[in-house]
Amino acid sequence: MLALKHQTLLLIFGLSSLLAAVVNASPLAARGKPRYGTDWILDPFKWGPYDEKAFEPTLTGTGLELGKKISTRGMHNGGIFSIAGPYKGHAAENLGVKNVVSAAQDCLGEVKALQLKGQLVASGMLKDPLMGDKPQAVIVMIKQPGEILDDNAEYKAASKQEKEEMKKQAIKLMCEEAWEDIKLGMYHFDNQTGNTVVVVKGKKVESAKIVDYGGDYVFHVREGVKKEVVIAFCQKEAVQFRDEVREP
């Protein structure tokens, strides 16, 4: 009888351990098999998990008023706007509002990514004359310092050799941030200078911040990937894009 009871306990313990292993592994397993020839880039953020109600809040009447349209660059972008005054404790000049073309999965993924980055202020539906006469899905985010390298006055005035060096500097700093994102459990794909804002002083790129975290270009990652692997992949990706659009 004792032997049977002992065997039963062992069986229960074994099943419990197996169940625990499955439960612990499920978040990673649910994010799919590796992509892009790597063993660490997994499913896109637009496949979840994310807050399915991220665009349900009504932002109209909460003090959020658009200023002017400042850009249409980026995925799912109906316009990026400045705001007319402070909002939720943030100065107007520190915020931007992105009118996403729909509250679709990839945009829900973008909300999730910005939340992880600490750059999300709000998301929801806003009615404003600058976007028409119907409420539109928007993301209110903290602006990153700088501008696209191609728009920078010092870069435009630089020689061809200086431009190449500035691009290399921007890519190096951009890929360092891509590594920082890995620590948050995500990787921003499509890393190139068009998706990065930079601060330039004396024809030297002093900072580079990745922007445009659309959920179809942000991926879950395998834990334990090495920094040098991520940096090398990011730099290769950026150089390939640079070579495709290299100036004559």
pLDDT along the chain (248 residues), means of 10: 40 36 36 86 92 96 95 77 97 96 89 97 97 95 95 97 96 97 95 93 97 90 96 92 49
Among residues 83, 192, 207, which one has the least CA distance to residue 144?
Answer: 207
The pLDDT of residue 240: 82
The pLDDT of residue 72: 74
What are the structure tokens assigned to 20, written together? Answer: 């625990």
Predicted TM-score (pTM) of this structure? 0.82
The pLDDT of residue 102: 82
The one-character DSSP state at 90 is: B
DSSP notation for 8-31: HHHHHHHHHHHHHHHHHHHHHHTT
- Domains of the chain as residue ranges with CATH: 47-142 (3.30.200), 146-244 (1.10.510)
